[in-house]
Every structure is written in C-alpha cells, then in structure tokens.
C-alpha cells in the first residue's frame, strides 16, 4: 500500500492510498478517515460508495463527514468507483459506462470481465487490505453510498447481511435493471440474459429472498434523475410484507448534488453509529 497523502483533521487522519489490485488488475486508489479514538482501540468501519463519474475524492472533498465521524469514532473508507488506467477498457461516448461507472458488480462480458470486478474488490480485496493497515473492528461494519453507490451499498448489504450491521443511501438507483441510465450498462457488463442482472438489483434481490434488517434512504424531490433513474418508491413497494424496515425521507428543493449529501451526512453517520455501537 502506497501513501499518497495524509492530513490531520478533527484530531484524526485523512489519508489517500493506492495499491495494486488483483481483482481489477490495475492500480486502485482509495481514501480512509481514521478518527482519534483509533489511537486507543479498534473502531467500527463505514464504507462509502460513490456515484457515476466520481472517484474517492468527491465525498472526501465535498461530503463533510470528518467532524461527525471523529465525534462518533467511525472509520470511513471511500473506494474508487471503477478500475483506472490507460489500458483499462472504457466507453468514451457515455459517462454511464466504463471508467467511473463500475456499478459495483463483477462483469462477465468482454472486454470488461478482466478489470471490472468491483463487487469482489469492495467485498473481499479492499477489506482484507485495510483491516491489516488500520485499527478496524471488522465485526462492526456499515455501508452507504450515493446514486450508483447507493445501489452498490444496498445490494452488497442485502447479499452480505452477516457482515454489515447497517446500510443507508442517498438517492440510490433501487432498480437498475429497468432504469434508463443503468440497464444499458448492466447488459454490456453482464450480457443480455436479465436473470444475471438480478443479483445486482436491490428490488430483485428482495423479490428473490434476500433480507436486511432496515434501510435509511434520503432523496431530494428536485433531483433531475428521480423519475427515470432512482424511483425509491419501487423499493418501498418491493419490501412490503418482508419485515425489512425502511425510513424513506423525501426532501423538498434538494437535488442530486453533494450539497444534498452534505446536508444529511450527519444523520447517516449517526444512523450507522447507533447500529454499530
């Protein structure tokens, strides 16, 4: 693991690191905030997954999570959203496919299958690396994210309920297999058989029997992607009768930006801290 930068913030450390990923077959960059409590004892970990076009840096620079994470004693891990590098396949004509648009899945179709293995990277490789480098209590993990990252957080939690004790999302894509900006990517990554898409679709996972105790979702009513891409009411409908809890908060005037995310970041960190206590 290589150190790119380390800065003191709120008594803790904000770091940016890189390493050679076996899952993605390239160098990957990620950020970690370690609160001051980690000097004395292992701390719970919350994973933040970013949205389309983002890197680790978007939430690190604009998410405003450090003050509350330091107060609550939470380690925050912010991975990248896709493999990177000159030799990595990309789709230059679409921001919804290729670099910056990994959708937190393991691709099976060429030319994507060799590098676009973000599900394995997030659930196996990166946890194994960071747990050796930082004082993390891996028995207390939460996960959240924004948009494509909200999709990633919800699907990963639903498939790994024994690992994660909390999950929340900002404006998640809850049914990517039918959303305008995600279905084409799923077809290119996973092939034309829509049955393969279901394990990366929160609504479909619930329909197929996956369970997680509860979710927090915040959504802006002024979000330009709400009607065609996000549609949180579909998840609300999918969980009826399942016992899955949902706190869905719809906010007037808020859009899809980090102004929205930073406005409710404290609420999400408190949500995770309560469930990781």
What's 51's domain CATH number?
A: 3.40.50.1820
Low-confidence stretches of the chain (pLDDT < 50) are none
pLDDT at site 211: 98
Find the catalytic residue in 80, 223, 268, 272.
223
Global pTM reads 0.97
What domain range is 113 assigned to?
2-276
Tokens standing for residue 53: 């076009």
Tokens of 128: 């194994």
Cβ atoms < 10 Å from Cβ of 267: 14
**Of 56, 146, 151, 256, which one is the catalytic site residue?**
256
Q: CA of 226: how far to CAs of 192, 220, 232, 271, in Å?
A: 26, 8, 8, 24
Does 182 participate in catalysis according to the annotation?
no
Give dist(CA 226, CA 232) in Å, integer: 8
251 is catalytic: no
What is the predicted pLDDT for the residue at 55? 97
The total of other beta-carbon atoms located within 10 Å of residue 177's CB is: 19
| Alpha-carbon gap, residue 48 to 29, rounded angstroms | 14
- Residue 46 contacts residue 65 (beta carbons within 8 Å): no
pLDDT of residue 181: 87
Catalytic residue among 82, 147, 166, 177: 147
Residues with Cβ within 8 Å of residue 209, at least 6 apart in sequence = none
Q: Please tell me the total count of domains within the chain.
A: 1
DSSP 191: -
Percent of the chain with pLDDT over 70: 100
Cα separation, 78 vs 59, in Å, equals 8
**Contact yes or no for 48/42 (Cβ under 8 A):** no
Q: How many CB atoms are closer than 10 A to CB 86? A: 6
Is 131 among the catalytic positions?
no
């Amino acid at each position: 693991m290589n150190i790119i930068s380390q800065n003191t913030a709120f008594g803790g450390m904000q770091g940016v690191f890189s390493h050679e990923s076996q899952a993605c077959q390239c160098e990957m960059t990620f950020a970690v905030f370690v609160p001051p409590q980690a000097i004395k004892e292992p701390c719970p970990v919350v994973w933040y997954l970013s949205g389309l076009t983002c890197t680790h840096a978007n939430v690190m620079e604009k998410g405003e999570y450090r003050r509350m994470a330091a107060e609550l004693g939470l380690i925050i891990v912010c991975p990248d959203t896709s493999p990177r590098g000159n030799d990595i396949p990309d789709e230059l004509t679409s921001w919804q496919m290729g670099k910056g648009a990994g959708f937190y899945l393991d691709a099976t179709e060429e030319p994507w299958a060799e590098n676009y293995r973000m599900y394995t990277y997030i659930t196996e490789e990166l946890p194994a690396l960071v747990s050796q480098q930082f004082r993390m209590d891996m028995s207390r993990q939460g996960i959240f994210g924004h948009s494509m990252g909200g999709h990633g957080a919800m699907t990963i939690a639903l498939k790994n309920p024994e690992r994660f004790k909390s999950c929340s999302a900002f404006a998640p894509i809850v049914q990517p297999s039918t959303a305008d900006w995600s279905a084409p990517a799923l077809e290119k990554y996973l092939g034309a058989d829509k049955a393969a898409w279901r394990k990366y679709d929160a609504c479909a996972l619930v329909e197929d029997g996956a369970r997680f105790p509860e979710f927090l979702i915040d959504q802006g009513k002024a979000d330009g992607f709400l009607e065609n891409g996000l549609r949180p009411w579909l998840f609300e409908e999918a969980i009826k009768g399942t016992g899955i809890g949902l706190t869905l908060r719809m906010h007037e005037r808020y859009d899809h930006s980090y102004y929205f995310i930073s406005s409710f970041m404290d609420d999400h960190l408190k949500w995770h801290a309560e469930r990781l206590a």
